[in-house]
Structures are given as C-alpha cells and as structure tokens.
Structure 1
Amino acid sequence: MQTPLNTDVLVIGAGNAGFAAAHAAREQNLDVLMLECAPRDEAGGNTRFTAGAMRFAYRGVDDLVALMPDLTEDELARTDFGSYPED
C-alpha cells in the first residue's frame, strides 16, 4: 500500500483548464498536485490540437507583457491576440 499524499488542490488533467486551475491555486499559496494520464510528450489536453491557438482572459499583448516581461520584440510581433468582447 502506498503512503497517502496530502495536498490542498488536486487537478485532474494537464490541459489548458487544468493548468489554469493549478496556477490560480498556486497564486493563493495552496499546494497543488496535478495528475495526467497522457505520456509527457502528449500532455496538454485538446490544446495539443489547436496549432498553438487558444483564448486568454486578457485584453491583449500589453496585459501579457506584465506577466511575461522576458518576451522579445520578435515574439510579440509573431503573436496574434484577437479581441473577445465582454458581451
């Protein structure tokens, strides 16, 4: 029998939603355990099939630069952020 694990938050699945949940929990200083059944090189849930396209809860690149200050000008130029109106 294995020793039980203790954690504040258990996230099932390492897709975009799972990572978002884990990140939000860590921002609250909670201990997080994420479980994924896919092999490491196939992790990512449906995100693997989107060719890098995904929606973010941000208004545009300026919001993301605050979170990722090391983005280069070239990376910013190659990134397309569509707008998603609040309605």
Structure 2
Amino acid sequence: MTRGKSHDRPATPVRMCVICRGRFAKSDLTRHVPAAGVGAGLLPDPRAAMPGRGHYLCANPECAEKFLKYSGRPRRRRGGQGE
C-alpha cells in the first residue's frame, strides 16, 4: 500500500478553457484576469502574476473569437451578498 501518492495525477498543472471547457496543460493556455473597475473586462496576464481569479483560454481561433464576447461573470462569494 502506498501512502500519499496519487498515480493518476498529471505531471503538469491542468486548467480548463472557459469557452470550450477542454482541459489543457496550464502552459498551453493564456491567462486573463479582471481589470480594475466594475465592468472593465479582462486583461491578458502572460506572466501569470497578476492578482485575481484567472480565466484561461486555449489557442483555438474559435474560442478566441467567442472570448471577445465573454464577460467573465464574477463569482458569488460564500456567506456574503454577491452579484
């Protein structure tokens, strides 16, 4: 019996594209974060260092086109009054 080891865990972090919902290696996706201000949209974060919840986008041109209309709806916080 092995303790603390997961044999089905991928070697690299995996994230999901917000448009097509496909799973990809984190390095294959571009990260976007909410811009400062209400309704300001999403900004690209190539270094993945900006604060905020990241929205990941794959390299598919169809996803990129749909992402232009994506609003990145804010998530509702638990226990508080969200939007």
Indicate whether the TM-score tops 0.5: no
- Structure that is richer in strand per residue: 2
